[in-house]
Amino acid sequence: MKLGTQEKIRMAEMALFLGSSLAFEFFDLKDSNYEEIVNLMQVSYLLDIISSFRTQRITDEYKELKELDKKIVSNTAYLIDYIGNNNPIGIFASYIYLYRQGYLSHDKNFVYDNDMKDFAGLLSVDVYRGKGVCRSIAHLLTGIYKEFGYNARTLVVNANSESIRNNLHLSNVSLQKSDKGNNFSKVISKLTSFIPTPNHAITLVDDGKNGYKLDPTNDCMMLNGKLNKLISPCSDKGIMRNYMMLDLFYSTLGDLDNDINLLKYIKQYNLPNINIDDYKELYLTAVEACIQNKDALDCFYEDNMSLYESVAEISKDQRGYLKRLFPLLPSGKKKGV
């Protein structure tokens, strides 16, 4: 099935969902023989949302993107290993250097921007396109750790501004942000300041000894705090709150291959923090390795450029998340999903 066909199916599902709901209320069909029929008409749309857009996952384009993602993740892990940065912090530092320098993106340029495609379970596609937000960035890092054989998952957290502003930032490359991306992050931060709702995505990984809560969007690490708090190493006012059940819900919807074993998750989450001095040393050593191996990085980009171009071409007509959730909204573009 093609993405264009999927759009028509989802528009039909949405029309049935709205139409049956309106008919149910307008004609007062409660307790009538039509109630079961109306409920069935709503089911297909709701199931598609609950299963994280299952109809999207069976399209030809989605399958192509999944294969491209596997190749890019594998090639990236090989490069990082080749330059000697195969420990968790070395991988983290290398990844930030690579994506911020554009080595992982179409046109060798990545910008923090809310023009996301949000392919279900393939959020990394937005990094390859060159435009994405925290969930795109964290998802790709999680995939790279898994390629190395580490136990890793994406965490959804509620982060206050202090956890980002007053933290340990070691990268020598800044993150480019568009005006839209900046405004998007500010609005989300304000909306979620006083309610227990995730507003940010980071990566959790462990090496069997230490657990690492790493924020690849903002180039920082969080430490274990009390209960569900993660604390900035620079300020006890810098807090990210992790709502564990929401993480498991996110895993079920967005990353069906994630291990959602609660006991294993809790054990991984509560592993000790790495010593801050060790973190700095490993991070800066990894950055230096990236700088010293510029020729290898350039060759890597040349070898992967056609993969990024394919991703950009295949995904260009995919609608964003909200317009997939409500497919009757006008796209403002030529047809796509």
Domain map (residue ranges) of the chain: 3-50, 72-313
Q: Which of 172, 96, 165, 169 is nearest to 134 (CA)?
A: 96
pLDDT score of 193: 72
Residue 248: how many other CB atoms lie within 10 Å: 16
The answer to whether 41 touches 17, Cβ cutoff 8 Å, is yes
Mean pLDDT of the chain: 84
Q: Are strands 111-112 and 131-132 parallel, antiparallel or unpaired?
A: parallel
Q: pLDDT per residue over 147-170, tens digit each?
A: 999 999 888 898 988 888 889 999
The set of residues, in sequence order, having a beta carbon less than 8 Å from that of 254 and lying 6+ positions away, is 52, 120, 121, 123, 139, 154
Q: pLDDT per residue over 256-287, tens digit each?
A: 445 566 778 788 888 999 999 999 999 999 99
pLDDT score of 147: 97
When comparing pLDDT for 228 and 110, which is higher? 110
Note the pTM of the prediction, 2 decimals. Answer: 0.84
pLDDT score of 226: 84
Query: Where do we find the tokens 């294993």?
Result: 264
pLDDT score of 188: 75
When comparing pLDDT for 263 and 328, which is higher? 263
Q: pLDDT per residue over 55-96, tens digit each?
A: 677 788 889 999 999 999 999 999 999 999 999 999 999 999
The set of residues, in sequence order, having a beta carbon less than 8 Å from that of 65 and lying 6+ positions away, is 119, 122, 125, 311, 314, 315
